[in-house]
Structure 1
Amino acid sequence: MLNSLKGLLSRKNDVPSPTVISLGQVWVDIMMDIDAIPQPGGFAVANHTMPSVGGSFRVMQAASRIGAATKHAGVIGNGPWASLIRKALNDNGIEHIGQDRIDADSGFRLVLNDSERKTFVATYGAESQGNENTFDCVEPGEGDVVHISANTLMDHSASGIDAFLHRTSSDPTTRDYSIVLNPTNTLHMVSDHLLEDLVLVRPIWSCNRQEARTLADRLGVFVDDSLSMTVGGGFDDSMKALCNSLGATLRAPLVVRAGSRGAWVRTPGGEVIHVEGYPTKATHTRSAGSCHTGAMCALIARGWSLVDAVKIANAAASLGIQRSINGVPDCPGYDEVIAKLEEDETPAEAAK
């Protein structure tokens, strides 16, 4: 069960010591708002074009703002895009401990947004040019949280992830640090061998609903589709069933996010817990999943339970959407998240 809000807030002044270490890739996103995707050979005019650092940067930025020491272990190149990335890391107090490539720039993603859907065109750079030695620099200590993002599982850097897992995490029962893993909707591009190794180390899986369904399909997990997946129908029951079935197969902690509806959490051997979200007007064009994951990683590093960390991460994601910049949710600081919890405290919570 959740701790009372009073109990959560009593930890406001806890002192962070462990570190969040991200093995994810970082690149530059160039968002272009257009009226419609042009036909081949056609022409479109873009409004509000603005480059921003993306990939796993948003997870690390959130972790840093929530109060955890944060490090980036991925590869950064040499060139104009890499310079933007290095500045963003430096401005947010994130230490780069990974490899540097002087022979290639970091990559970028062109994101065409026509208000109904987003179309991506990727140019891969130094961030994807890893190998089995890419993460030899990572030596997680007791209480640290290692974040692994889906974007590192589908190219040459995947061999570095596998090598890291075999070097440090082969026995999840004796591991003294946590792994938080974001899966992907393109799991068909992840090798069977790597996926098996990821399942065996039993990380904390953090997914949105679509990613959870994709992971369930890849693992052959039966999910009862007889329940309605609409908010007005059996949405809660469907989410609980999905989380329970997938979590039982993974035999690992699982968080399944559903935007303003909050998240469903299952720990091995436990019941599925619905952690309420915070209704927010959707004024952004990018997902707040990175904000949620980063905040959760920071709070786990600070010693919070998974359910309590998710509760705070829900609030952080809601605020991130409200204060989005150029369509990108902007994670708030720890004190601002706590203030939101105090503001939204219900009489029922106050009575606990």
Structure 2
Amino acid sequence: MTRAGRVISLESIIVDLRVDVPELPRIGGDVIASGSRVQVGGGFNVVAAAARQGVPTVYAGRIGSGPYGRLVAEALTGEGVTVGGPTDPDEDSGYCVAFHVPGSDPTYVTVPGAEGRLRPEDLAGLGPGAGDVLCVSGYDLMYEVSGPTITGWLGDHGAGPRVVLDPGPLVLDIPTPAMGAAVGVLDVLTLSAREALLVAGAEPSGGELHHSVRRRLGLRDATVLVIRAGDEGCTATGGELRGLVPVPADVVDAVDVTGAGDTHTGVLAARLAEGSDFGRALTAANEAAALSVTVRGPATAPARSDMRNAAID
């Protein structure tokens, strides 16, 4: 089978500042960190995961011109990702401070930069094809400038390529008009189990959780809803799928779950771009996400050659 298209990501790329702490301080308090790390993250995890599958990958967002922006540009070059967006001459790329407490999920504070100022003219020459897969983040739908740019652009181009949205942990904070515009052209919505429960507003499980999320967000029948559940794999409904489809995950010894959802999204997008059906694409995404959590760091998606599900369908 020949590859059908590219992965084109509009998910903004920022720099992750990881801080390891014994506990989060109380308001007005302080704690002594045991370590820290600076790495490129955000949407970089998605494009890195896709590119490591050997699928042509394009980053279409803005990059800053300061030290963080240079880190972003160097990281994209290192992964062989094509830079399709402009460099902002006046502003640096944003960053995210991630506080890691042993035994708990990370806590984040995001500071937007140049990536939050995507304008229509920035996307004018992108020209997505019918075989391409577009990746969009919920963070970008929240930005005052990038949000309307992306939803307007999707309205013009979303009927051709597949559109994949990962709303992220701020799913309930996305403005209703922006979410509604995205839902109208959405082919895949991928959520963590926690995010799905936030949307559902209750604690249903399995098919009931899917039904509640689909109803509350007004998803079309043609939209595939993926709910990621960590070591339990993921479940999916809608589109070409018949009923609730569970896709199990490998059992691994996890050391760092940072970026696992992004790995899942990037590999899913890559496999869809080259023509895999959803079942095979989700199986590969689960395997990649499981491998990624066995390595410390945010952008730890495996190379395709390191996966069992490496063959082109």
| TM-score after normalising by structure 1 | 0.80
Quick check: 1:179 aligned with 2:163?
yes
CA–CA distance in 1 between the matches of 2:225 and 2:309?
A: 27
Question: Out of 168, 183, 189, which is 1:199 matched to?
Answer: 183
* Match in the other structure for 2:219: 250
CA–CA distance in 2 between the matches of 1:292 and 1:180?
A: 12
* Match in the other structure for 2:291: 319
After superposition, the Cα gap between the structure-2 partners of 1:38 and 1:242, relative to the gap in structure 1 and judged at 3 Å, is: closer
Question: Out of 129, 137, 140, which is 1:141 matched to?
Answer: 129
State the number of aligned residues: 304
CA–CA distance in 2 between the matches of 1:336 and 1:273?
A: 26
* Match in the other structure for 1:152: 140
- Partner of 1:338: helix, strand, or coil? coil
CA–CA distance in 1 between the matches of 2:63 and 2:114?
A: 6
* Match in the other structure for 2:300: 330
CA–CA distance in 1 between the matches of 2:272 and 2:55?
A: 9
After superposition, the Cα gap between the structure-2 partners of 1:43 and 1:161, relative to the gap in structure 1 and judged at 3 Å, is: same
After superposition, the Cα gap between the structure-2 partners of 1:183 and 1:303, relative to the gap in structure 1 and judged at 3 Å, is: same
2:93 touches 2:114 (CA, 8 Å); kept in 1? yes
User: How big is the shift at 1:213?
Assistant: 2.6
**Which one has the largest radius of gyration?**
1
- Give unpaired runs (5+ residues) of structure 2: none
CA–CA distance in 2 between the matches of 1:211 and 1:121?
A: 17
Quick check: 1:25 aligned with 2:1?
no
User: How big is the shift at 1:272?
Assistant: 0.9
After superposition, the Cα gap between the structure-2 partners of 1:256 and 1:103, relative to the gap in structure 1 and judged at 3 Å, is: same
1:97 counterpart letter in structure 2: G
1:212 touches 1:256 (CA, 8 Å); kept in 2? yes
2:18 touches 2:36 (CA, 8 Å); kept in 1? yes
Q: Which moved more, 1:62-71 or 1:243-252?
A: 243-252
Q: Deviations over 1:129-181 (max 9, x none)?
A: 22344433332112110001112111121011111122212xxxxx3321111
- Partner of 2:93: helix, strand, or coil? coil
* Match in the other structure for 1:50: 37
CA–CA distance in 2 between the matches of 1:97 and 1:21?
A: 9
1:98 counterpart letter in structure 2: G
Question: Out of 247, 267, 271, which is 2:243 matched to?
Answer: 271
- Partner of 1:130: helix, strand, or coil? coil
CA–CA distance in 2 between the matches of 1:270 and 1:128?
A: 38
Question: Out of 299, 305, 309, which is 2:281 matched to?
Answer: 309
User: How big is the shift at 1:118?
Assistant: 2.8
CA–CA distance in 2 between the matches of 1:106 and 1:328?
A: 18
Aligned 1:280-291 pairs, distance under 5 A: 280-291=252-263
CA–CA distance in 1 between the matches of 2:257 and 2:279?
A: 27
Quick check: 1:72 aligned with 2:56?
no
User: How big is the shift at 1:194?
Assistant: 1.5
- Partner of 1:63: helix, strand, or coil? helix
CA–CA distance in 1 between the matches of 2:279 and 2:199?
A: 22
1:131 touches 1:158 (CA, 8 Å); kept in 2? no
1:136 touches 1:164 (CA, 8 Å); kept in 2? no
* Match in the other structure for 2:71: 84
| TM-score after normalising by structure 2 | 0.90
CA–CA distance in 2 between the matches of 1:280 and 1:29?
A: 25
* Match in the other structure for 1:240: 207
CA–CA distance in 1 between the matches of 2:70 and 2:115?
A: 13
Over the matched positions of the two proteins, sequence identity in percent amounts to 29
Q: Deviations over 1:88-126 (max 9, x none)?
A: 000000011112111111111111212234332332211
1:84 counterpart letter in structure 2: L
User: How big is the shift at 1:41?
Assistant: 4.6
